[in-house]
């Protein structure tokens, strides 16, 4: 069994397969999170624009606060994957 720092749905696990799960997938996700985290300010700005647009279409009350909380949460989740660098070894 491979160590995964996040959960996948059974359908995604089946789609990726055991070779993918035990091979490149975890390492690629960790490497991607490291690359994104290195540029997290730019990434946060892009996420903020994306969520602002989506929340304004949906008519979410208090969109500015909701957008900021959602953006911060996404950055937190991406940066949390860096703590699992041992996958790359």
Reported confidence tier of residue 7, pLDDT bands at 50, 70, 90 = low
DSSP state of 60: -
The answer to whether 4 and 45 have CB atoms below 8 angstroms apart is: no
Tens-place pLDDT, residues 26-71 = 777 778 888 888 888 888 888 888 888 887 776 766 678 888 888 8
The answer to whether 74 and 50 have CB atoms below 8 angstroms apart is: no
Q: What is the largest CA-CA distance in the chain?
A: 45
Q: Which conformational region is residue 62 in: left (phi greater than 0), alpha (psi within -120 to 50 degrees), or beta?
A: left
pLDDT, residue 61, reads 65
Angle between the 40-58 and 24-38 helix axes, to the nearest 10 degrees? 90
Q: Is the pLDDT of residue 1 over 50?
A: no
Instruction: Parse the chain into domains and list their residue ranges.
Output: 10-88
pLDDT, residue 40, reads 82
pLDDT, residue 38, reads 86
């Amino acid at each position: 069994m491979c160590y995964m720092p996040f959960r996948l749905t059974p359908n995604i696990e089946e789609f990726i397969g055991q070779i993918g799960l035990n091979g490149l997938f975890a390492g690629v996700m960790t490497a991607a999170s490291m690359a994104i985290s290195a540029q997290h300010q730019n990434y946060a700005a892009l996420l903020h624009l994306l969520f602002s647009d989506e929340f304004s279409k949906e008519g979410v009350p208090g969109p500015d606060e909701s957008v900021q909380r959602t953006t911060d949460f996404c950055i937190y989740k991406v940066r949390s994957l860096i703590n699992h660098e041992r996958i790359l070894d």
